[in-house]
């Protein structure tokens, strides 16, 4: 009665150790994918909100003191980290052996932009951590399912040869046990594929918001030192 009420669980229980191992691996990949998906979704939503709020503060900023205030206000957040590092880059360029600089030449501007771009790249690489878990799950789950199916079919045909009967009642259970791993592989791969692309879109949006923040910082710095150059 239990087997007829739960045919899938019955097939899993009747499968051999290799098929059960494949199903266990697929279950682990599914749990890992969903965990990474929800973790990144919650984390990036919070960081996106922080970046937008910091950008709103910078829109009213007119000098580096305002930028420093915004960096301190958003300390221990992604925008606070970005602004603090960029202020450190700027400070390093303004300090020279001959004393503090009152302006930045073309070489200094290029160097500042290179460092800012490197900073954004490093942040993006850090944010991409754990995404390969979802990508790998989407890629290998169908292959694992296919492997389990082929393995099950081989054993099903061996069982048929031993029984010396090709009756549907003999063939069907073994084939069904084999195909259950293909179904499991697809059930893991399809959501993981969708999750990966949703996370990729969210990461692209986060990168754009971080770029806007650094662009605003660069504009304020350029505006401040452009005035000094004119003097």
d(CA 79, CA 82): 5
- Cα angle 162, 167, 169 (rounded to 5 degrees) comes to 100
Question: For 84-100, what is each residue's pLDDT tens digit?
Answer: 999 999 988 888 656 67
The pTM score is: 0.83
Nearest in space to 194 (alpha carbons), one of 42, 49, 41:
41
Q: How many domains does the chain have?
A: 1
pLDDT class for 122, splitting at 50, 70, 90?
Answer: very high
Structural domain range at position 38: 2-230
d(CA 192, CA 195): 5
Core vs surface per residue 56-73: b (16+ CB within 10 A) or e: ebbeebeebeebeebbee
d(CA 192, CA 33): 6
- Percent of the chain exceeding pLDDT 90 equals 59
């Amino acid at each position: 009665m239990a087997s007829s009420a739960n045919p899938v669980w019955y097939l899993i229980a009747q499968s051999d150790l290799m098929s059960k191992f494949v199903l266990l691996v697929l279950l682990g990949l599914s749990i890992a994918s969903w965990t990474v998906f929800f973790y990144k979704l919650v984390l990036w939503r919070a960081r996106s909100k922080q970046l937008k709020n910091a950008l709103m503060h910078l829109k009213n900023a007119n000098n580096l003191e305002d930028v420093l205030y915004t960096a301190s206000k958003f300390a221990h957040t992604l925008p606070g980290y970005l602004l603090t590092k960029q202020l450190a880059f700027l400070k390093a360029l303004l300090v020279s052996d001959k004393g503090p600089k009152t302006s930045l030449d073309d070489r200094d501007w290029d160097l500042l932009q290179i460092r800012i771009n490197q900073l954004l790249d490093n942040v993006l690489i850090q944010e991409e951590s754990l995404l390969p878990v979802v990508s790998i799950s989407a890629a290998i789950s169908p292959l694992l399912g296919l492997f389990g199916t082929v393995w099950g079919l081989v054993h099903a045909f061996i069982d048929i040869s031993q029984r010396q009967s090709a009756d549907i009642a003999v063939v069907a259970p073994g084939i069904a046990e084999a195909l259950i791993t293909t179904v499991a592989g697809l059930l893991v791969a399809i959501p993981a594929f969708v999750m990966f692309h949703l996370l990729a879109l969210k990461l692209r949006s986060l990168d754009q918001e971080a770029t806007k923040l650094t662009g605003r910082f660069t504009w304020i710095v350029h505006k401040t030192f452009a005035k000094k150059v004119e003097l």
